[in-house]
């Protein structure tokens, strides 16, 4: 049963709703637009709020559903997290898009919400705290870094009955998110003058090879024009 749930969660997580919506609504390939990520934030940049809402719901729901199905199947917390992480992995490395997907942040949030809605809300507020200054990726990095610590040290506040296993699961979510950032692909030409350690640090903290956000977003737009 556990193996079947892992496979099912990965396949559901692999459904590239963001890619499909952008392609159907505007004929845009998200991999060649904006940040290049196959996720809700890039859908918003490529289409509109109206088209982004179903993507938000679906990506968030993938994480929640994966954990709940595992829970309803009688699996313990560690196995529930494993199934949830399989859904996140499917979103990040989808078999239907040649293993090139999004960052899995919404699906990860769904997993977090399934264990503690209050913790999920706290992480969401932390992540968006820097959005007004256009540093959402940095806000997400800080929230992910704090996630396992909040789950363990503030377990009572967040109504977490088993802080040890839950904090370990949250640490796994953080690790998977950071791995996805670091393994974003080949080094961009924009970062050719930077050392590899600088590139990796930028990817980890800012989710891009360089710190200049405007220049980074413009690179895929220019590439898309070149191939149009």
122-158: pLDDT as tens digits: 999 999 998 888 888 999 999 999 999 999 999 999 9
Distances (CA, A) of 190 to 126, 195, 200: 29, 12, 14
Residues 6+ apart with CB under 8 A from 212: none
Number of domains in the chain: 1
Which residue range(s) make up the domain with 144?
2-227
pLDDT tens digit sequence for 173-215: 999 999 999 998 888 889 999 999 999 999 999 999 999 888 8
**Residue 227's pLDDT is what?**
26
Mean pLDDT of the region 208-227: 67
User: How far apart (Å, rounded) are the C-alpha atoms in residues 216 and 137?
Assistant: 13
What is the pTM assigned to this prediction? 0.90
User: How far apart (Å, rounded) are the C-alpha atoms in residues 83 and 69?
Assistant: 9
Q: Is pLDDT at 225 greater than 80 in this prediction?
A: no
């Amino acid at each position: 049963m556990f193996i079947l749930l892992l496979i099912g969660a990965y396949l559901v997580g692999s459904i590239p709703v963001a890619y499909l919506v952008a392609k159907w609504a505007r004929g845009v390939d998200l991999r060649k637009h904006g940040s290049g990520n196959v996720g809700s934030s890039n859908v918003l940049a490529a289409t509109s709020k109206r088209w982004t809402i179903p993507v938000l719901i679906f990506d968030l729901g993938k994480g929640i559903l994966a954990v709940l199905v595992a829970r309803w199947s009688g699996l313990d917390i560690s196995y529930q997290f494993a199934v949830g992480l399989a859904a996140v992995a499917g979103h990040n490395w989808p078999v239907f898009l040649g293993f090139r997907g999004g960052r899995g942040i919404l699906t990860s949030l769904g997993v977090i919400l399934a264990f503690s809605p209050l913790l999920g809300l706290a992480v969401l507020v932390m992540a968006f705290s820097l959005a007004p200054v256009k540093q959402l990726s940095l806000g997400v990095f800080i929230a992910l870094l704090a996630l396992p610590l909040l789950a363990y040290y503030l377990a009572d506040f967040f109504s977490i009955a088993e802080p040890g296993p839950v904090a370990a699961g949250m640490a796994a979510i953080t690790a998977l998110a950071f791995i996805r950032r670091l393994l974003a692909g080949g080094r961009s030409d924009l970062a050719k003058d930077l050392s590899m350690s600088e590139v990796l640090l930028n990817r980890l903290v800012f989710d891009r090879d360089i710190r200049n956000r405007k220049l980074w977003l413009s690179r895929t737009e220019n590439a898309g024009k070149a191939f149009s």
